[in-house]
Amino acid sequence: MEAQEGTQQPHLVLANKLFLLSHSDVPDIEKVQLRDEVFASVKADDMAPLYETLVSESVLELDQGVMDSMRAKNQEELKKLDEKIADAEENLGESEVREAHLAKSLFFIRIGDKEKGLEQLKVTESKTVAVGQKMDLVFHTLQLGFFYMDFDLISKSIDKAKNLFEEGGDWERKNRLKVYEGLYCMSTRNFKKAADLFLDSISTFTTYEIFPYDIFIFYTVLTSIISLDRVSLKQKVVDAPEILTVIGKIPYLTEFLNSLYDCQYKSFFKAFAGLTEQIKLDRYLHPHFRYYMREIRTVVYSQFLESYKSVTIEAMAKAFGVTVDFIDLELSRFIAAGKLHCKIDKVAGVLETNRPDAKNSLYQATIKQGDFLLNRIQKLSRVIDL
């Protein structure tokens, strides 16, 4: 089913509800309402194949009458679509034949039949000449990929779209593809690339079929904070007018961004705590929840320590509004993992920073590579002498 301009694709709304149904942090009373909404959506679009899958996974209970009714409607509609294709092939032109095949593709996507939907999209593509129309078919495939979180399908579709753009293609579709690719990168933990793609799309965003603009800004801010340096964050995010007009609608996000940039660490931790629930209950961010929590803490601790050669643990704990024991445990983990360049003097209760010298580390790496190259040359010369 195609989404109207400015609204999220209904299948992706349904996918989010299915995700929340499987989430352990969602209260049972909310799940009752979610289950009713999922069943209503499935019934409204006669999604017999998806209903069958959800029943087999014990997400929904089987109502045989509803199942039989949906299957009968599907068969009837499929028969009409096949007749329309046959009529177009016999009596009409190539564009009408393509439109008839596209209608059948969208029918399979609407009822939740992934395999037949992909198969029919390939048939439709074989009837398609224009690059723009081929791109639209790729977007349908991408939406199907995000519904099932099929990252292999998404990756191949993005590569296919890029190859199509080499043949031509308009800027509007190119900009839409950036958002799809950004979502894919974020979903596969490539936050740096996701941030770059999202920031490139802020002023040209039209991809309402996968998420609303405020959710897009939410993803842009979250990925940018752990990917950009302070100067870039100020220019591209903190002062960006497109972000400023929307950020206030998202709870805690303004405080989260501004308190980090303004070094108000106590406020940052409070906003951070408020955002964790939203990140945890996000379908695309949930698998990376623990990783993101670690990365954002690395960013904020590194920013604090950058201002000092040495600082007492008590002063740092006070700045963050936490206990000395908590900050001691936190820092020891990050130092052991090589995420923070400092050492703890437990006796004196002091943190001493030992920031790596970039020139010195580059010099050491060059020496190491030179030694390795000399060893290889010596081994090769022995072989040649023999």
Q: What is the largest CA-CA distance in the chain?
A: 90
For residue 355, what pLDDT is reported? 66
- pLDDT digits 0-9 by tens, 70-85: 899 989 988 888 888 8
For residue 10, what pLDDT is reported? 87
DSSP 148-214: HT-HHHHHHHHHHHHHHHHH---HHHHHHHHHHHHHHHHHTT-HHHHHHHHHHHGGG---TTTS-HH
Percent of the chain having pLDDT more than 90? Answer: 28
Cα–Cα distance, 17 to 303 (Å, whole number): 38
Length of the chain counted residue by residue? 386
Give the residues across from 342 on adjacent strands: 353
Local confidence band at 45 (pLDDT 50, 70, 90 cut-offs): confident
Is residue 299 over pLDDT 80? yes
Mean pLDDT of 289-305: 90
- pLDDT digits 0-9 by tens, 227-254: 988 888 899 999 889 899 998 899 999 9
Q: Which residue would you say has higher pLDDT here, 4 or 136?
A: 136
- H helix or E strand, kind and range, residue 337: none
Residue 121: Cβ-neighbour burial (10 angstroms; 0-12, 13-18, 19+): buried
Closest CA to 130 of 160, 185, 82, 169: 169
Local confidence band at 220 (pLDDT 50, 70, 90 cut-offs): very high
Domain 1-143, classified CATH 3.50.50.60, yes or no? no
Local confidence band at 27 (pLDDT 50, 70, 90 cut-offs): confident
Q: Extract the runs of DSSP E, i.e. beta strands, from 238-362.
A: 310-312, 342-345, 350-353
For residue 146, what pLDDT is reported? 93
Would you give the distance in Å from CA 69 to the centre of its chain?
Answer: 37
Local confidence band at 6 (pLDDT 50, 70, 90 cut-offs): low
For residue 361, what pLDDT is reported? 66
- pLDDT digits 0-9 by tens, 120-142: 888 888 887 788 888 889 999 99
Cα–Cα distance, 380 to 386 (Å, whole number): 10
| CA geometry: angle 149, 41, 58, nearest 5 deg | 65
For residue 386, what pLDDT is reported? 54
Closest CA to 10 of 54, 40, 31, 36: 40
For residue 360, what pLDDT is reported? 63
For residue 226, what pLDDT is reported? 92
For residue 357, what pLDDT is reported? 57
For residue 4, what pLDDT is reported? 41
Is residue 157 over pLDDT 70? yes
For residue 284, what pLDDT is reported? 94
Q: How many CA atoms lie within 13 A of 377 on its CB side?
A: 6
Local confidence band at 279 (pLDDT 50, 70, 90 cut-offs): very high
Using the structure block, give the residue that is written with the tokens 């940052």: 268
What is the radius of gyration, based on Cα positions, of the chain? 27
pTM over 0.75: yes
Domain boundaries, the chain: 1-143
